[in-house]
Amino acid sequence: MPIKLTYRFEPGHPEDGVTAEIPLAQLNQLPREPFDWLVPGLYAEKIQALIKGLPKSLRKQFVPIPQYVEACLQGLEYSNGDLLDALVSFLNKAAGASLSKSDFELEKLPIHLRMNFYVVGEKGNVIAVSDDFRALKNQYAQKAGQQFQAALTSALSTASATEWQFDDIPVHQTIQHKGQALKGFPALVDEKNSVGLTLVDSQEEANKLHQGGLIRLFRLKFSKELKQLGRKSALTTAQAFSYQQLKPHPFYTLSVGDDMFDDLAHQLMATLFLSQDIRSEKEFDKAVDQQNASVYAVGYELSNTVGKILDLLKKIQQALIIWQGQPIYEDVTKQLNSLCYQGFIRHVPADKLALYPRYLKAIEVRLDKAKGQAQKDHEKTALVRPFETLFWSRVSAAKENPEQTEFRWMIEEYRISLFAQQIKTTQPISEKRLQKAWQKLVG
């Protein structure tokens, strides 16, 4: 995708350096990483400034600096991936150092070594100016999506299909709009009782939509088995009612199905069929033919797990009443609300749902132990709280699905190691391991 660049030589001016002009309709399609490499003519100067800007205790490992800059120019593949990831990896290997991305003080870079951005409308008018690409995308994502959708009048669009009736679905497709080449991402979309085919402006959004559309298509394919599961599952009416009474996720907005059985059917199809990216009728039919296990049997087992979870949850909520007004009540309530919220059956992968009885039993053990050692319990809470604060803050800001992040489940295992050691963890876990995993997650 060609991007118009302009250069301004005016030291001290906020637009000194290179400016990229990005049409609003293309904003959601562009990743930040290529812009961080700047342009070839300023690349070497930026590498040098990044190394020079390191704290002295770290900078002294890369002396003489020009020699390391030259090594970077020779050893790094320009504009391939994330600049800081590549630079950290190369310098650590070259000098036996232990740099991390957070060691570089990007805010102290000279203005001309930071790419500037114009977001422009269809008539070429400048809508926004900033050197923070991520902030621009966050602020204008919705408007960019609306303008992109307005360009799709003649593009790919199908609705109300109850079976696979599409050609092979490409990962991306280019359309022309008012002289601009717009890259769109086709995706199946869930229409409740049918599926459609649409084109969106973001690969991430397309992936989410496509998964939902595939799940709906498989639900239509196995409608008889799912109806049987709705009539004969391991779940009771009382459990269905208690599920409907759950609160929304406290840190993240997630979609909710019509009821517990809707969420159960969604999770069942995701578990059985979404281990691959299906984009053709041949792939869809193959997935159906290769499903050896009985859909009803797998669904019944899943419903049995959910039933155990809801029973344990109710038991813990009753045991928690006596702790009202105390720190342990607040902490356990937050934990429960993050585990069992509206729609959790739909969003928590089945292999993680299978671990829920362990997490809930660990809470039971904790509540029993705390009766004689409330202060000790409070001290253990202080050990896990910083990790939870970091994680949930990141999830809220980045709009990531928390259930797809392994760090989220490491926190639950850490809680078991702190509060219920007799329940073995599924992996070695400690404060140091969590710190290391967090650094890996944030880069």
Residue 399 lies in a domain: yes
Strand 173-177: give its sheet, edge to edge. Answer: 158-161, 195-200, 180-190, 173-177
Q: Are 269 and 403 found together in one domain?
A: yes
Of residues 202 and 33, which shows the higher confidence score?
33
Q: Is the pLDDT of residue 298 over 70?
A: yes
Of 28-32, 305-309, 334-338, 340-344, minimum mean pLDDT range: 28-32
Q: In sequence order, which residues have a C-beta less than 8 Å from that of residue 7 and are 6 or more positions away?
A: 17, 18, 19
One domain, residues 277 and 203: no
pLDDT > 90 fraction of the chain, expressed in percent and rounded? 73
Same domain assignment for residues 174 and 259: no
Strand bridging mode 180-190 / 173-177:
antiparallel
pLDDT confidence bin for 292, thresholds 50/70/90 = confident
Q: Give me the pLDDT at residue 156, please.
A: 58
- In this structure, what token pair is assigned to residue 50? 């990044």
Domain total for the chain? 3
User: What letter represents residue 316's amino acid?
Assistant: I
What pLDDT sits at residue 229?
Answer: 95
Last residue of a domain, one of 72, 103, 120: 120
What H or E segment, with its residue span, contains residue 398?
helix 374-398
- Residue 221, pLDDT > 80, answer yes
The tens digit of pLDDT for each residue in 223-236 reads 999 999 999 999 99
pLDDT value at residue 200:
84
Band (176; pLDDT cuts 50, 70, 90)? confident
- 366 and 404 in a single domain? The answer is yes
Position 43 confidence tier, pLDDT thresholds 50, 70, 90: very high
Is residue 138 one of the residues assigned to a domain? no
pLDDT at 243 over 60: yes
Predicted pLDDT of residue 148: 79
Residue type, 422: Q
Phi, psi of 160 (to 5 degrees): 60, 40
| Residue 183 maps to a domain | yes
Distances, alpha carbon 190 to alpha carbons 26, 193, 208, 238, in Å: 25, 8, 10, 29
| Residue 177, beta-bridge partner list | 180
CB atoms within 10 A of CB 163: 12
Does residue 189 lie within any of the structural domains?
yes
CA dist 32 to 28, 52, 186, 254, Å? 10, 23, 22, 26
Answer whether residue 362 shows pLDDT above 90.
yes
Place of tokens 């102290």: 108
- Do 140 and 44 contact (CB within 8 A), yes or no? no
d(CA 65, CA 41): 19
Are residues 339 and 353 in contact, defined by beta-carbon separation less than 8 angstroms? no
What's the pLDDT band for 179 if we cut at 50, 70, 90? low
- Give the sheet arrangement for strand 126-130, strand by strand: 4-8, 17-23, 116-120, 126-130
- In this structure, the answer to whether residues 273 and 200 fall within a common structural domain is no
Phi, psi (degrees; rounded to nearest 5) at 116: -100, 155
Residues 98 and 48 in one domain: yes
Phi, psi of 251 (to 5 degrees): -125, -5
Given a cut of 70, whether residue 203 has pLDDT beyond it is yes
Name the CA dihedral angle for 235, 239, 240, 244, rounded to a multiple of 10 degrees.
-150
Residues 6+ apart with CB under 8 A from 421: none
Give a yes or no: residue 436 inside a domain.
Answer: yes
Tokens of 348: 């928590």
Instruction: Please state whether beta strands 180-190 and 158-161 pair in parallel, antiparallel, or not at all (unpaired).
Output: unpaired
In a domain, 376, yes or no: yes
Same domain, 271 and 419: yes
Q: CA 5 to CA 121: how far, in whole Å?
A: 16
What is the per-residue pLDDT for 394?
87
Q: Are residues 197 and 295 in the same domain?
A: no
Q: Judge if 244 and 202 occupy the same domain.
A: no
Boundaries of domain holding 212: 151-221
- Residue 58 and residue 178 in one domain: no
* CB of 121 closer than 8 Å to CB of 127: yes
The pLDDT confidence band at residue 443, using thresholds 50, 70 and 90, is: low
Q: Which of the listed residues 81, 104, 120 is the one where a domain comes to its end?
A: 120
Sequence-separated (6 or more) residues with CB below 8 Å from residue 362 = 415, 416, 419, 420, 423
Q: Is the pLDDT of residue 153 over 60?
A: no
- Asked, for residue 139, whether it belongs to a domain, the answer is no
Q: Give me the mean pLDDT over the 292-306 stretch.
A: 94
In this structure, are residues 302 and 264 in contact, taking their beta carbons and an 8 Å threshold?
A: yes
Asked if pLDDT for residue 154 goes beyond 60, the answer is: no
279 shares its domain with 389: yes
In a domain, 227, yes or no: no
Read off the pLDDT band of 28 (50, 70, 90): confident
Task: Tell whether the model's pLDDT for residue 58 goes beyond 80.
Answer: yes
Query: 198 pairs with which residues across the strands?
Result: 187
User: Would you state the structure tokens that stand for residue 355, as one six-digit string?
Assistant: 């671990």
Query: Do residue 414 and residue 284 come from a single domain?
Result: yes
DSSP notation for 276-317: S---SHHHHHHHHHT--S-HHHHHHHHHHHHHHHHHHHHHHH
Show which of 104, 120, 136 is a domain's final residue: 120
Residue ranges of E strands in 208-360: none
